[in-house]
């Protein structure tokens, strides 16, 4: 049984998905604090918003790991080449990091820097997607 590990962990996790209360509570409290701080110290507010985002990410990171393991199992069962799955996961990771960076820049009202960060992320994703595009081109050429 390939899928037992991840599926079992997800099921166990399903019993206590109480993180959402923690996340919402933290978000509400920190939004109020942010409103107070932003008036006098906008630079602190940007950093605090970033930290709140990171803390929320780390709260749900464990679940994300279980989901990723489940996806790998699913791909292995469906006979998908793990190379392609890894590329997709890498793209998701780059997209997430890029999004965080761009959001921080936009929080500080630096839209132009945010746009450049997003441009860099898109470019790197395009580079990662080249092997998949090549595989499609090769398949089409073989058919023709």
Where do contacts with other proteins occur on this chain (CB under 8 A)?
26, 30, 33, 36-37, 40-41, 43-45, 47-48, 50-52, 54-55, 57-58, 61, 64-65, 68, 86, 89-90, 92-94, 96-97, 100
To the nearest whole angstrom, how small is the minimum distance from the Cβ of residue 97 to other proteins? 6
To the nearest whole angstrom, how small is the minimum distance from the Cβ of residue 77 to other proteins? 20
Q: Residue 137 and residue 144: Cα distance in Å, rounded? A: 11
Do the Cβ atoms of 26 and 52 come closer than 8 Å? yes
**CB-nearer residue toward other proteins: 55 or 120:** 55
DSSP 80: -
To the nearest whole angstrom, how small is the minimum distance from the Cβ of residue 142 to other proteins? 29
Exposed, middle or buried by CB within 10 Å (0-12, 13-18, 19+), for 134?
exposed
Q: Residue 113 and residue 107: Cα distance in Å, rounded? A: 11
To the nearest whole angstrom, how small is the minimum distance from the Cβ of residue 141 to other proteins? 30
**SS3 (DSSP) at 60:** helix
CB atoms within 10 A of CB 130: 10
In 9-120, the DSSP E strands lie at: none
**CB-nearer residue toward other proteins: 13 or 139:** 13
């Amino acid at each position: 049984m390939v899928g037992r590990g991840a599926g079992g962990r997800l099921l166990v996790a399903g019993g206590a998905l109480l993180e959402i209360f923690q996340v919402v509570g933290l978000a509400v409290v920190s939004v109020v604090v942010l409103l107070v701080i932003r008036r006098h110290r906008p630079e602190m507010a940007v950093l605090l918003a970033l930290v709140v985002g990171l803390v929320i990410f780390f709260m749900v990171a464990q679940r994300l790991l279980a989901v990723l393991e489940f996806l790998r199992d699913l791909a292995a069962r469906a006979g998908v080449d793990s190379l392609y799955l890894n590329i997709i996961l890498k793209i998701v990771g780059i997209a997430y990091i890029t999004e965080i960076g761009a959001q921080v820049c936009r929080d500080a009202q630096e839209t132009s820097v945010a746009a450049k960060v997003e441009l860099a992320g898109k470019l790197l994703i395009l580079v990662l997607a080249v092997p998949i595009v090549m595989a499609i081109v090769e398949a089409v050429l073989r058919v023709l």
